[in-house]
């Protein structure tokens, strides 16, 4: 199909075989690049899913104080979900039923909240917190 749609680009009719090889070669290269991107995306997604499917047991004493200062700077829906799941230890299903939303929405909101918190912590939190483990 690609060769037929590009037949107007053929300059010399006697070189049709070489031209078809180039069209086939570029088509196969495009296909394999797309498959590699798809596999890489699936692997990254699977890694994120395994990370987020784990329950986090966080000891309040070991949480950086920057966390508590920056939590209110997030959107309220993000700070609420982080408090309930990560700090209070509630399950995602429990939070979903309390908020009367789907479990999938809770999972997405939690992922976005953690990403937003990470971004804010990396910008604002001092290096000494990271080094001391606070």
Residue 125 burial (CB < 10 Å; 0-12/13-18/19+)? middle
Residue 10 burial (CB < 10 Å; 0-12/13-18/19+)? middle
What residue ranges of the chain are covered by domains with CATH 1.10.10.10? Answer: 60-132
pTM: 0.49
- For domain 60-132, the CATH architecture is Orthogonal Bundle (1.10)
Do residues 105 and 96 make contact, with C-beta atoms less than 8 angstroms apart?
yes
SS3 content of the chain, % helix, strand, coil (to 5): 80, 0, 20
- Residuewise pLDDT in 10s, the chain (134 residues): 766 676 676 677 777 788 788 888 988 999 999 898 888 888 877 776 665 555 455 555 556 677 777 888 899 999 999 989 988 889 999 999 999 999 999 999 999 999 998 888 877 765 545 555 44
Distance CA 69, CA 38 (A): 39
pLDDT confidence of residue 112:
94
Q: Position of tokens 């104080």?
A: 65
Q: DSSP secondary structure string, 106-125?
A: HHHHHHHHHHHHHHHHHHHS
């Amino acid at each position: 199909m690609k060769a037929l749609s590009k037949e107007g680009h053929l300059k010399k009719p006697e070189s049709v075989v070489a031209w078809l090889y180039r069209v086939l070669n570029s088509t196969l290269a495009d296909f394999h690049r797309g498959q590699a991107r798809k596999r890489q995306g699936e692997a990254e997604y699977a890694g994120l899913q395994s990370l987020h499917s784990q329950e986090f047991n966080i000891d309040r004493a070991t949480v950086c104080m920057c966390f508590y200062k920056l939590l209110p700077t997030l959107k309220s829906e993000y700070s609420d979900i982080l408090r309930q799941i990560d700090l209070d230890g509630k399950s995602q299903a429990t939070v979903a039923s309390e908020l009367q939303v789907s479990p999938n929405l809770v999972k997405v909101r939690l992922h976005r909240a953690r990403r937003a918190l990470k971004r804010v912590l990396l910008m604002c939190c001092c290096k000494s917190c990271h080094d001391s483990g606070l």
